[in-house]
Amino acid sequence: MTIRSASTDWNALAKFFHWSIVVLLLLQGVAAVLMDGFPREMRGTLMMLHKSTGVLILLLAIARVAWRLLNKAPPPLPEVSPANRVLAQLGHGLLYLLLFAVPLSGFLMSAYGGRVTEFYGLFALPNFVAANDAMNELMQKIHEPLFFALVLAAAGHAAAALYHHYIKRDATLIRMLPGNKT
């Protein structure tokens, strides 16, 4: 597995971060929608898994940003217009902002509610804030809308990749697919 990106392709580690986060976000969305349908005695375990997966997404996003700061991205494809490059940068910026905001708002919701966040039952994360009903209520109000904003941003990102693949017929999507080289 190469650490640095080839001149035109994302490397295996970048692809791992990308696709791991995608799969975990899909699982989070499905779990959040279905959680209320499970028996009450199972919801505690499901919530622990939901919180743990949120923490894992945050850790992967931090690792992805750290990797990105230390590694050059492959250059944009020459056929991608300057306007589309700017849109891509703005879209990626929004995705990263939301990848941080959603799990942090969930963690803070638990912490301000006086609840512990366990990481897959292995250990508890420290609450860095004291219980606070007003802040807990605020985090409850913003956590779900932030997630839906992330879903919309991710859908836009996927639509742009499909546009490049099927309409523009360039290698934008292919160079992020596992196992593919441009």
Question: Measured at the alpha carbon of residue 49, what is the angle toward residues 149 and 119, in degrees to the nearest 5?
Answer: 105
Which pLDDT does position 31 carry in this prediction?
A: 87
Which pLDDT does position 76 carry in this prediction?
A: 86
* 42, HSE (Cβ side, Cα atoms, 13 Å): 7
Domains of the chain: 12-176 (1.20.950)
The separation between the first and the last C-alpha atoms of the chain, rounded to the nearest angstrom, is 16
Question: Measured at the alpha carbon of residue 123, what is the angle toward residues 119 and 124, in degrees to the nearest 5?
Answer: 80
Report yes or no on whether pTM surpasses 0.75. Answer: yes
Which pLDDT does position 181 carry in this prediction?
A: 65
pLDDT (tens, 9 = 90+) of the chain, 182 residues, equals: 444 444 678 989 999 999 999 999 999 988 888 888 889 889 889 999 999 999 999 999 999 999 999 988 888 899 999 999 999 999 999 999 999 999 999 999 999 999 999 999 999 999 999 999 999 999 999 999 999 999 999 999 999 999 999 999 999 999 999 987 65
Contact of 88 with 157, CB cutoff 8 Å = no
Alpha carbon dihedral 55, 61, 64, 66, in 10-degree steps, equals -80
Pull the structure tokens for residue 151.
């879903």
Which pLDDT does position 8 carry in this prediction?
A: 78
Q: What are phi and psi of 88, to 5 degrees?
A: -65, -45
Which pLDDT does position 7 carry in this prediction?
A: 63
Contact of 146 with 105, CB cutoff 8 Å = yes
Pull the structure tokens for residue 154.
């991710």
Q: Which of 170, 171, 168 is nearest to 181 (CA)?
A: 171
Which pLDDT does position 179 carry in this prediction?
A: 82
Alpha carbon dihedral 157, 9, 73, 94, in 10-degree steps, equals 10
